[in-house]
Amino acid sequence: MTGNRLEIITQYVKSCLDGNTNAHGLDHALRVCQNIEKLLPHYPNADHELCLVAGLVHDVIDDKVTPDVTLAKQN
């Protein structure tokens, strides 16, 4: 992943998922992004950055990760 926006989002996700012990930490989000990067060549019309951002943030509002899903959605 390249680009300042993705780096900023990665740091945000890290701050949200730090200390998570149920396999939904930053390392999981980065593995999801690696899989997305493998799939993207098959979808040339896909917005690559949007797909990678979705992969990064997909667990940030999950109730397995945050005690307050409403607040996490607002953030």
What whole-number distance in Å separates Cα of residue 1 and Cα of residue 8? Answer: 12
pTM for this model (two decimals): 0.82
Can you say whether the dihedral through the CA atoms of 9, 47, 73, 57 is positive or negative?
negative
Q: What is the pLDDT of residues 13-32, one digit of tens each?
A: 998 888 776 777 888 999 99
Q: What is the pLDDT of residues 57-71, one digit of tens each?
A: 998 988 888 888 899
Q: Which fold has domain 4-74?
A: Cyclin A; domain 1 (1.10.472)
What whole-number distance in Å separates Cα of residue 45 and Cα of residue 33? Answer: 17
